[in-house]
Amino acid sequence: MTPRVSIRISLRWLPDAASEPTDTIVFGVGAYYLDLRVLKSNNSIDWALAGERQVLSTDPMKVRFNKTLDSLNMTEPDEGDFTKLPNGDDFETGRMPCPERGMQVTEYEEIWRQIPPVPGPKWAWILESAGDGRKVLLGRIGGGYLAIGDKKGDSFGARREEWDDTKKKWEVKYKIGEVEDVPSVADTRAEGFEGEADWKMGDKVVVLGREYLVRAFELLE
């Protein structure tokens, strides 16, 4: 599967009208995903989650999203049905707990759009922290970087950074919550993490002194 960067165009909790109160981006590499949704009103985390994407059927397309991390502590998998719109966007429908309605299970509709990765190296990966301590997942696709971490739901933090090829440095787009032990690639003063071009799925690697498992690694077209 080709690495994917997707943004959400709208969310609708039926029967309400569709809207988009967040800046939402999803990285998909192999079978794994990172999903960060930041409220436009105050730059706080609306929802952040990560885990494994499982295709249940292809006709129609039905996907289950298993979760390793979830900032809302909704550990049960989500399932969505996907159809392609005439303009190429993906239309997702399903049922899940609605935070605005006291976690009442509600039908929803979302529209997603795949976008080109931020220019950068021609590889993509997702890492998951190994061993005890805070659970952290990191993702990179080209010149885009996401990192989210959770300590048993008590201290959630997220980073989103993008490589500026003109300035030859990383720009911090979001730095939210408790991120002191959630790695920042911008802090490395380099284009990426040491040795990342040679990582392979299943490897154990060290990023800024902490061990991670390479859950997915793919080359960009």
Q: At 164, list the tokens.
A: 């500026």
CATH architecture of 4-115: Beta Barrel (2.40)
Q: Which of 48, 20, 54 is nearest to 34 (CA)?
A: 48
Structure confidence at residue 153 (pLDDT): 52
Structure confidence at residue 151 (pLDDT): 67
| pLDDT tens digits, one per residue of 147-157 | 999 865 567 99
Domain extents in the chain: 4-115, 123-219
Position 45 pLDDT exceeds 70? yes
| 123-219: in CATH 3.30.70.980 | no
Same fold for the domain at 4-115 and the one at 123-219?
Answer: yes
**Stretch 21-34: mean pLDDT, rounded?**
98
> What's the pTM value of the predicted model, to 2 decimals?
0.95
Cα 79 to Cα 25, 35, 95, 113, 175, distances in angstroms:
18, 15, 8, 18, 29
Q: 91 pLDDT band (50/70/90 cuts)?
A: very high
Vertex 174, ends 173 and 177: CA angle to 5°?
165
Tell me the average pLDDT of the chain. 94
Percent of the chain with pLDDT over 70: 98
Q: At 132, list the tokens.
A: 């005890």
Q: End-to-end CA distance of the chain: give it in Å, rounded.
A: 11
**Stretch 78-107: mean pLDDT, rounded?**
96
Structure confidence at residue 75 (pLDDT): 86
Structure confidence at residue 139 (pLDDT): 98
Sheet with 144-150, strands from edge to edge, namely 169-177, 157-164, 144-150, 135-141, 123-129, 210-219, 204-207
Q: Which of 115, 78, 103, 75 is nearest to 93 (CA)?
A: 78
| pLDDT tens digits, one per residue of 158-211 | 999 999 999 999 999 999 999 988 999 999 988 999 999 999 999 999 999 899
Q: 132 pLDDT band (50/70/90 cuts)?
A: confident
* Residue 74: count of CB within 10 angstroms of its CB: 15
